[in-house]
Amino acid sequence: MKKILIIEDNADLAENVGLMLKEQHFDTYIAGNGKEGLRKIIEYDPDLILCDIMLPDISGYKLLSELRKLGEIKLPIFIYMTAKTMRQDLRKGMNLGADDYLTKPFTQEELISAVNTQIQKRKTLLKFKSVSEKEIDGKNREADSKTEEHDSAELKYNEHIFISDKKNPGFYLIKNLMFIKSLKDYSQLFFTENKKFTLRRPMIYWETRLPDEKFIRIHRQTFINLDYIEKVEIISSNRYALEIKNFSEKLEVSQRFSSKIKKLIK
């Protein structure tokens, strides 16, 4: 049974679309906003996504753009549901990699036709590439499993993590994480491009998961990415301060962890 995720903030429309699809024996899930949609994509690994463009938190454009960052995971079929009918709006969605779009309001016949047509196109494409759908689904489940295991497995330097932020939810590369500061049960993550997020994660979470060949602890409350150290300032024999690329604040190294910095400057 094909799984379809409906990302739509109009609850009545989402429910009606879900009922139409269930009548055609599709397994359906509903998300009321973009952030919830990203979570459910990871959780349910849908075969097809029906997504509104004008969502209350992030746009459908942003959602698809974030999803495309996960290059190792095969993208589901992606169909926009939109009241926008301007050519440039539709073209923008197609340029991002959408498979099709439905202009609101649409009929049940138009909905089912669009869904079935795109499913058949995907099957044909997979057959042409001599890759069975079963193998692709297996890869998706394996990738999904790896994503779910992030809470217990080591984070790889070139992997993305999903950050559920109100303003900028999305996938962010571990290698773009410059440093982390602990705030008891919370952590502040400082990424490149002036991106900063606060997560409910204690320092022990990062200590056991960050790749130790790239991240070191320089303070009881601070982890730093070695790739972003621009300069080591010697304050005294066992005290150092670090200048971080494109960051104005210096990070002080506590005496307890100074031996790690000594090795870097030898």
Would you say residue 188 lies in a domain? yes
Lowest mean pLDDT segment, chosen from 9-13, 153-157, 243-247: 153-157
Q: What is the CATH number of the domain that holds 122?
A: 3.40.50.2300
Last residue of a domain, one of 121, 149, 177: 149
Which pLDDT score is estimated for 85? 63
Count of other CB atoms within 10 angstroms of residue 221 = 15
Q: Which residues pair with 196 in a beta bridge?
A: 190
Are 113 and 172 in the same domain? Answer: no
Are 131 and 238 in the same domain? Answer: no
Q: 108 or 91: whose pLDDT is higher?
A: 108
Are 18 and 137 in the same domain? Answer: yes
- Total number of domains constituting the chain: 2
Which pLDDT score is estimated for 129? 56
8 A C-beta contact, residue 90 and residue 102: no
8 A C-beta contact, residue 76 and residue 41: yes
Are 210 and 246 in the same domain? Answer: yes
Are 134 and 72 in the same domain? Answer: yes
Which pLDDT score is estimated for 1? 87
pTM: 0.58
Would you say residue 229 lies in a domain? yes
Are 141 and 233 in the same domain? Answer: no
Are 129 and 197 in the same domain? Answer: no
Would you say residue 215 lies in a domain? yes
Would you say residue 258 lies in a domain? yes
Are 200 and 96 in the same domain? Answer: no
Are 96 and 121 in the same domain? Answer: yes
User: Average pLDDT of the chain?
Assistant: 83
- 43 phi and psi, to 5 degrees? -70, -40
Give the pLDDT mean for 182-209. 87
Q: CA 247 to CA 231: how far, in whole Å?
A: 12
- In terms of DSSP bridges, do strands 177-183 and 222-225 run parallel, antiparallel, or are they unpaired? antiparallel
What domain range is 120 assigned to?
Answer: 3-149
Q: CA 247 to CA 241: how far, in whole Å?
A: 13
Give the pLDDT mean for 154-173. 82
8 A C-beta contact, residue 64 and residue 96: yes
Q: CA 144 to CA 81: how far, in whole Å?
A: 25
Which pLDDT score is estimated for 246? 86
Would you say residue 155 lies in a domain? no
Q: CA 9 to CA 229: how far, in whole Å?
A: 44
How distant is the alpha carbon of residue 207 from its chain centre? 22
Q: CA 102 to CA 123: how far, in whole Å?
A: 21
Are 15 and 137 in the same domain? Answer: yes
Residue 134 has pLDDT above 80, yes or no: no
Are 193 and 241 in the same domain? Answer: yes
Last residue of a domain, one of 149, 183, 203: 149
- Is residue 97 classed as helix, strand or coil in its secondary structure? coil
Q: CA 171 to CA 174: how far, in whole Å?
A: 10
Would you say residue 29 lies in a domain? yes
Last residue of a domain, one of 149, 169, 197: 149
Please list, in sequence order, all residues whose beta carbon lies within 8 angstroms of the beta carbon of residue 117, skipping any fewer than 6 positions away. 100
Give the pLDDT mean for 83-88. 69
Could you tell me if residue 97 is left (phi over 0), alpha (psi between -120 and 50 degrees) or otherwise beta?
left
Would you say residue 57 lies in a domain? yes
Give the pLDDT mean for 124-138. 55
Would you say residue 154 lies in a domain? no
> Is residue 242 exposed (0-12), middle (13-18) or buried (19+ Cβ within 10 Å)?
buried
Are 177 and 136 in the same domain? Answer: no
Q: What is the CATH number of the domain that holds 221?
A: 2.40.50.1020
